[in-house]
Amino acid sequence: EPEVTQTPSHQVTQMGQEVILRCVPISNHLYFYWYRQILGQKVEFLVSFYNNEISEKSEIFDDQFSVERPDGSNFTLKIRSTKLEDSAMYFCASGWGTVASNQPQHFGDGTRLSIL
């Protein structure tokens, strides 16, 4: 069964540094997403991406965040100047259609980001 893959599985970074989280979505999917889950809390939507542009973003996705699909297979999340509160598990997801049309999203196994 095709999978969403994420790298690295664990990233440790000093506060204030930039970090890039990488994802390879399922190959025929058209919609791509990033979520985060702070330890012990619920999964939170960050951003959706379709047709090479952001389609929706949450209030969490501020100017320090950016997303890119540089080469048609990878999908990246960049955090420009990390803060302690950015420590979380970050999940990438992809889907064939919009969630509003009842198309589910399939999640990668996450990158645990630890900010020191």
Partner 1 sequence: RKEVEQDPGPFNVPEGATVAFNCTYSNSASQSFFWYRQDCRKEPKLLMSVYSSGNEDGRFTAQLNRASQYISLLIRDSKLSDSATYLCVVNIGRHDMRFGAGTRLTVKP
Instruction: Answer yes or no whether residue 106 interacts with partner 1 by CB under 8 A.
Output: yes
Instruction: Answer yes or no whether residue 7 interacts with partner 1 by CB under 8 A.
Output: no
How far, in Å, are 32, 58, 78 from residue 46 at the CA level? 11, 5, 12
Upstream peptide bond of 2 is cis (omega within 30 degrees of 0): no
Check if the beta carbon of residue 95 is closer than 8 Å to that of residue 104.
Answer: yes
Count how many Cα atoms sit within 13 Å of the Cα of residue 66 in the half-sphere of its side chain.
11
- Provide the minimum distance between the beta carbon of 16 and partner 1 in the complex, in angstroms, as a whole number: 27
- Provide the minimum distance between the beta carbon of 89 and partner 1 in the complex, in angstroms, as a whole number: 8
Pick one of 34, 91, 113, 115: the residue that binds partner 1 (CB under 8 A): 91
Backbone angles phi, psi at 5, to 5 degrees: -115, 140
- CA–chain centroid gap for 18, Å, is 15
Instruction: Answer yes or no whether residue 107 interacts with partner 1 by CB under 8 A.
Output: yes
- Provide the minimum distance between the beta carbon of 35 and partner 1 in the complex, in angstroms, as a whole number: 8
- Please say which residue, 82 or 111, places its beta carbon nearer to partner 1: 111
Point out which residues bind partner 1 (CB under 8 A): 31, 33, 41-45, 48, 50, 55-56, 58, 89, 91, 98-110
